[in-house]
Amino acid sequence: MGFALLGSLGSCVSLKDSHQWNVKFQSFNLKERFGVGFKLVTNFKACNLVRVSLCKNEFVDFEERTSPNEVRKEIEQCYELIHRLGRGVVYLGSSRMGPGHPHYSQTLELSREIANLLDCTTWTGAGPGLMDAAITGALQAKKPVGGFKIGREAGEWSTSNFHPYLPSETYLACRFFSARKHGLVDAAVRSSNFDKTAVVALPGGVGTLDEMFEILALIQLERIGSELPVPFIVMNYDSFYAKLLDFLNVCEDWGTVSKGEVSSLWKICDTNSEALAYLAEFYDLPFPDEGKQETELRTAHERVP
């Protein structure tokens, strides 16, 4: 007979009768373990109920879930990787937009130019699609790359904990989504004025939106960026996020967000040049030649079949 039990010492819980008498209690407080004694009193005349009385003078062992400790250990591994490679720009984006997609070439160019501009580590989910484009751009700039990988991304049919070409010491294969998210957030947090970091949200689906709005909420609630602001850029390539932005305007009309609240938390950019100019101004850096950027972008588009 298996059941969940919540109650204080001395309380009674009535359960339906069963042929099995093995009862397990589990603590919901991982910091303070406790055991409870119990006695079973059967009253077959009262609808075959079994009464369980909790008392203080006996001890019953219980099974403890191990996943919290495993998550904590994986989060610590994420922090160790960030400490070793350095914080930088975190890219969130679709795993399905491959090299044949125009957004892939735009992302590659953007990642390469931002890596050169900020001279920092490029962080991604170490997956395919636009994550791969961001990695490739940073490698072309000869800047460090780090990642937090999961076994299978959306659109993939097989599971793998290994990246096809990144050295194993530059990424971590995460079992838990919560640990991966901790890593992606911490990689963008600025701990000093010398840190040049950013979050760049590229076109994407459910996973990208999940990560985008989690980081947006953390910035909104000043859980990150309260002392040293972190630029949050949304790349609205080909008006990809136009309807999402319209929906957020509707939220303002309904009063679920304040007027101008969301727009103050991130920067919407339609082109790479706009994003680079914003970062250069944010960190008071020389802005690259805008004409050169647009020429390179057109050349990249011409290379895509």
CATH of the domain at 295: 3.40.50.450
**Do the domain assignments include residue 129?**
yes
* Whether residue 13 sits in one domain with residue 127: no
Neighbouring residues of 98: CB distance < 8 A, sequence distance ≥ 6: 104, 128, 129, 132
**Token code pair at residue 300:** 């990249």
Q: Are residues 132 and 46 in the same domain?
A: no
Is residue 154 very low, low, confident or very high in pLDDT (cuts 50, 70, 90)?
low
Residue that wins the pLDDT comparison between 172 and 2: 172
Helix %, strand %, coil % for the chain, to 5? 40, 15, 45
- Shared domain check, 55 and 72: no
My answer on whether 32 and 124 are in the same domain is no
Q: Domain check: are 231 and 263 in the same one? A: yes
CB atoms within 10 A of CB 200: 26
- For residue 93, tell me if it sits in a domain: yes
Whole-number average pLDDT of the chain: 82
Of the ranges 124-133, 172-181, 220-229, 295-304, which one carries the lowest mean pLDDT score?
295-304
The boundaries of the domain holding residue 7 are 1-64
Residue ending a domain, among 30, 45, 64, is 64
159 and 256 part of one domain: yes
- Of the CA atoms within 13 Å of residue 223, those in its CB half-sphere come to 10
Does residue 40 sit in the same domain as residue 19? yes
Number of domains in the chain: 2
**Which of 38-52, 74-88, 288-302 shows the lowest per-residue confidence on average (mean pLDDT)?**
38-52
Q: Are residues 8 and 148 in the same domain?
A: no
Q: Are residues 236 and 133 in the same domain?
A: yes
Q: Is residue 167 part of a domain?
A: yes
pLDDT in tens, 105-152: 999 999 999 999 999 999 999 999 999 999 999 999 999 999 999 877
Judge if pTM exceeds 0.85. Answer: no
The whole-angstrom separation of Cα 297 and Cα 179 is: 35
Is 305 a domain residue?
no
**Cα 247 to chain center, whole Å?**
23
Q: What is the largest CA-CA distance in the chain?
A: 89
Same structural domain for residues 159 and 179?
yes
Final residue of a domain: which of 43, 64, 85? 64
Q: Is residue 180 part of a domain?
A: yes
**Between 36 and 214, where is the model more confident?**
214
Q: What is the pLDDT of residue 51?
A: 47
Whether 281 is in a domain gets the answer yes
CB 262 within 8 A of CB 216: yes
Domain limit, last residue, from 35, 64, 93: 64
- pLDDT at position 14 is 43
200 and 60 within one domain: no
Residues 74 and 89 placed together within one structural domain of the fold: yes
